[in-house]
Structure 1
Amino acid sequence: MSKDMLGWRCKFGVMGPSTNTIVQPDFDMMRPAGVTNHYARIFTPNANAISNETFRAGAEVIAGNTLDAVKSVMTCAPDHLVMGMSAVTFFDGAKGADRFVKQVEEFSGLKISVGSHACTAALNAYGGVKRIAVLSPYWPAMNIEVARYFTDMGFSVVRDIALKRPSWIGIAETTSEECVAAMKYLDGDDVDAIVQVGTNLSMVKLAAMAEMWLGKPVIAINTATYWHALRARGIEDKVEGCGKLLERF
């Protein structure tokens, strides 16, 4: 059987919002030799003045346009799909995540890695994690959905912070200083791990550094999602510099 010259081990089909400028370079940074990432952008108008009321509505527009992106990326004959947008994978808790996965897998005939379930798999890989804190660029109404999901999966959400970014593009403009301040707020002896959600928030390298000075798992959702996709395809390569998840598990 013929193999793709560059993606001879695996071709990933990745769906991400058209406003997202972080997930593509993040995934490419973690890509082992012989694995290629192929992006289909989910049409997403840049929502300005996001609020509790408009965040979910905007995210549901993205969810509604996801299958068009799946249809587009399927023309390159990928081996596995990866969802490069996390909010829609937390809606309505665990049952909502399962429903989203089922919809895409039935439509495409391929398996998909999604942020919510990837974070659960990552937390379980570390082991001994029961109490978590959540960092998001979202608005509080969306954090409620994230907490519902993790509670459904057997974790206790001790604290969370919503950075309330003003637009979809504005998420990618969040500074490292803002993220560090958020992690300091979230951390405590009552927290076993910190989970960062929101794929347009640049946290892969920062989370890896934070693990060293906090002495506990700090999971960036882009790391967890790409790790999950690699392992789902039996690719066990260890990737240095992006946290213990990719270095050890």
Structure 2
Amino acid sequence: MQKSFGILYIVATPIGNLQDITQRALDTFQSVDLIAAEDTRHSGLLLSHYGIKKPFFALHDHNEQQKADLLVEKLQQGVNIALISDAGTPLISDPGFHLVRKCRQAGITVSPLPGACAAITALCAAGIASDRFCFEGFLPAKSKARCDKLQRLVEEERTLIFYESTHRILDTLEDIKTVFGETRYVVLAREITKTWETITGNEVAQLLAWLKADPNRTKGEMVLIIEGKINSEEKQFNPQAIQALKLISQELPLKKAAAIVAELYDYKKNALYQLGLEMNL
């Protein structure tokens, strides 16, 4: 009798605070035969913290295409494998795509376990429209390529989400200022869930000045959230007011929602009501 295939589990891990691990993730680590990790030493600390000992298999950007076939073979032999990245949800700007695609092509079950994701966690607290957004990962390292990429996104109306490194954050914001203009609203979420968690939003020129005032503000893991291009009817309102109008109008009639937001942000309720009609709220 042929042995059934194993299962590939895609397991999200904490992005900082170890208490953000899910019980299902811990149960899965206990039950699988092997853990494929981006950095086995880093992930070993997480499992050690919870008293879990399992064999590791290194799977990272530099070896994934070569090693994916070997992992597929193991799965076909009935081995259950958990795929994890250094932090957050695997495949979101992390390795795993080639392995998952090969597993699906081979008829192997791929089971995702939800959990922490820096992009979504930052978006939830940004105060920028979250009903429509696009995740762009890391911008190019070189300024010319970075500006070219930003230029292709300058007309994008959806909220834009990027990851950025500590040594490029100032240069990236300078390029955002150049391409999107000094008044484009940007939120920087730094060290999310960690001790020095900071979530700061402002016009990009003001955000840059704030960062330059203290070098410590440029350190750590970073998510940049950029307000999408807003149409002319919306430009007179700040993004928090627009988001509040969207949320409140889900629970109350638009006229009532407009009145509440007008009181909160000192706008004319008729103007907000008209905006809501134009936005089909």
Does the TM-score normalized on the shorter chain lie above 0.5?
A: no
Please give the TM-score of this superposition, normalised by the length of structure 1.
0.31
- Structure number, greater radius of gyration: 2
- Structure with higher helix content: 1
Please give the TM-score of this superposition, normalised by the length of structure 2.
0.28
Greater relative contact order (Cα 8 A, min sep 6): structure 1 or 2?
1
